[in-house]
Amino acid sequence: MFESDGAHTPVRQIEQLLAEMAVTGDHLAGASGIRDVLQRLAIRAREITLSDFAAVSLFDENGQVDRFLFDGMHKSLALEVGALPAGRGLLGQLPVLDRPLRLSDLTEHPAFTGWPDGHPAMGPFIGMPIRSGDQTIGSLYMTRESGSHSFSELDELSTAFLSIQAAQQINIVAVRERTARLSLLEERENIARDLHDGTIQSLYALGLESDARANAPDFPEQAKPIIEDVVNCIDEVITDMRGYITMLESQAPAYAPNLARDIPHAVHQLVPSSIGVLINISAEAVHTVSAREAEGLLYITREALSNAVRHGDPTKIAIELRETGMGASLTIQDNGTGYDAATIRSGLGTVTMRTRAEALGATLRPHSIVGMGTMINVTIPRAETPND
């Protein structure tokens, strides 16, 4: 907040504004990704305006809320309120605005549609568009509890400068993530080519040589079953590796992952239409996972779907992604043949899923019952935050 300084108020205000911008710049510079940028912006917006609640959203190409991070509400209360805003009502007005919306009482605005059950009653409101070029890419929202004093023109000015810094930092991080994803795609293609041209060919040659030796006239008869088992294992590894190569070569989008969009796309690519698929993805989970976490969860989903289709012979598959309060939880379950973990070798797909989960600090739990199907669950725990 700006301080009043009599005749020197404008000069003092400018000095404070520049100081606030410097603090904001330092605060945003250490952000690790888009989600972290948005969380820091929400915290900063609340600090600058002394608001009770602050949030920041990003919009997709259709003007719908794609990400939403907030500060000022305890996580337990947020869970009671339920799903995060979808961009309807008053918040739905902001994607089409090119200027701020400052209200003494947001409940009197014609677009206000009411509060979700359990949501605190708010009154004073500032909605500040985040502009990039001629496009509104997101918004900042600041509110105070009903009956509190209204936001001032100076509050509006300070958040206007914050929105400029927000647009700059969001664009910087988006370009960085896009570049990293392009590099990752190129690396995947190189790995896939090396595996196909080198490793698989070597394994295939080893299998042929082993089979030839076992069929030689002087080969001990009692050792032939052992060689047959070895050849079968080599064939299984080759099959798993070809599936892995297919995963690497899949055309993952070069833009930031969005699980609400990319999981259905993976289903379309990997699951035959004869298999029924139920997808339940909560908006809150989509908004809270980082780009890196979304990438890992998408990979695990693709691998689990591939395994189910190739080995399980299911008629139904269910995919659920939700925020539990303890973290993001992804479950892929099928009604296929299942397997006995005590007697079945862990394939390359299972190993890579577990490795990917460990890289996220997550826990992967596979569970299968012969004749009843398989379930894969991965949970990414959440560290405690100031709102906890």
Q: What is 45-83 written as a DSSP string?
A: HHHHHT-SEEEEEEE-TTS-EEEEEEESS-HHHHHHH-S
- The band of 3, judged by pLDDT with boundaries at 50, 70 and 90, is very low
- The band of 6, judged by pLDDT with boundaries at 50, 70 and 90, is very low
Q: 6-176 has which CATH code?
A: 3.30.450.40
Considering the four listed CATH numbers 3.30.565.10, 3.40.50.920, 3.30.830.10, 3.40.1190.20, the one that applies to the domain covering 257-388 is 3.30.565.10
Report the pLDDT averaged over residues 29-36. 82
Q: Where in the chain is the domain with CATH 3.30.450.40?
A: 6-176
CB burial of residue 287 (10 Å; 0-12, 13-18, 19+) = buried
Report the pLDDT averaged over residues 187-215. 73
CA of residue 207 relative to chain centroid, distance:
41
What pLDDT shows up at residue 329? Answer: 95
Residues 6+ apart with CB under 8 A from 318: 277, 278, 279, 280, 331, 332, 333, 334
The chain-wide mean pLDDT, for the chain, equals: 81
What DSSP designation does 262 have?
A: H
Backbone angles phi, psi at 40, to 5 degrees: -65, -35
User: Helix, strand, or coil here: 341?
Assistant: coil
pLDDT at residue 82 tops 90: no
Report the pLDDT averaged over residues 215-232. 81
Tokens of 12: 């003092």
What DSSP designation does 215 have?
A: T
Question: Which has the minimum average pLDDT: 41-45, 112-116, 186-190, 357-361?
Answer: 186-190
- The terminus-to-terminus CA distance of the chain in angstroms comes to 25
Residue type at position 143: T
Express each pLDDT in 94-105 by its tens digit.
777 778 899 999
Express each pLDDT in 305-342 by its tens digit.
988 998 889 999 999 999 887 789 999 999 999 988 77
Q: Where in the chain is the domain with CATH 3.30.565.10?
A: 257-388
pLDDT at residue 204 tops 50: yes
Strands 101-103 and 122-132: antiparallel
User: Percent of the chain scored above 70 by pLDDT?
Assistant: 81
d(CA 388, CA 385): 5
Cβ–Cβ under 8 Å, residues 295 and 254: no
Backbone angles phi, psi at 280, to 5 degrees: -130, 105
